[in-house]
């Protein structure tokens, strides 16, 4: 399956409001991180959860965020990270 991003690419999580079985938590929407790895292609949970096929499959990535970019008052080391799985249709180049 074709993919848009490679490890090391800077990406921004879309700030879309979307109801339903969405696996992109609010706290990362609009934030910029870096692709940590390509996980592979998986059924789309946004339709799979409602008894549909989940097709077409969506490319899934692990995205690495510096904690300080997520929380302005983060109380820890600047190197601390939050890593999370984001589907390609929730990402844009940053």
Partner 1 sequence: MSDHHHDLVHATHTHDGKPIQNDDRPPIEAETLETAVRELLMEKGVISADEVRQAIEMMDSRGTDLGAKIVARAWVDDDFKQRLLSEGDAAVREFGVDMRPTELCVVENTAEVHNMVVCTLCSCYPRAILGIPPAWYKRRDYRARAVREPRSILAEFGTAIPEQKQVRVHDSNADLRYLVLPQRPAGTDDWSEEQLAALVSRDSMIGVADIRSPGE
- The residues binding partner 1 (CB under 8 A) are 23-25, 27, 39-40, 42, 45, 60, 62, 67, 70-71, 74-77, 79-87
Closest to partner 1 by CB, 4 or 64: 64
Closest to partner 1 by CB, 80 or 92: 80
Residue written as token pair 């690419």: 9
| Structure letter (DSSP) for residue 27 | G
Residue 74: count of CB within 10 angstroms of its CB: 14
Q: How far is the CB of 44 from partner 1 (least distance, A)?
A: 11
| C-alpha span between 88 and 55 (Å, rounded) | 14
């Amino acid at each position: 399956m074709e993919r848009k991003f490679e490890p090391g690419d800077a990406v921004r999580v879309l700030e879309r409001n979307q109801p339903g079985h969405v696996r992109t938590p609010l706290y990362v929407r609009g934030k910029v991180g870096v692709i940590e790895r390509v996980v592979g292609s998986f059924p789309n949970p946004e339709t799979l959860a409602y008894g549909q096929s989940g097709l077409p499959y969506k490319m899934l990535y692990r995205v690495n965020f510096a904690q300080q970019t997520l929380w302005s008052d983060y109380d820890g080391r600047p190197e601390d990270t939050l890593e999370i799985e984001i589907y390609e249709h929730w990402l844009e180049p940053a």
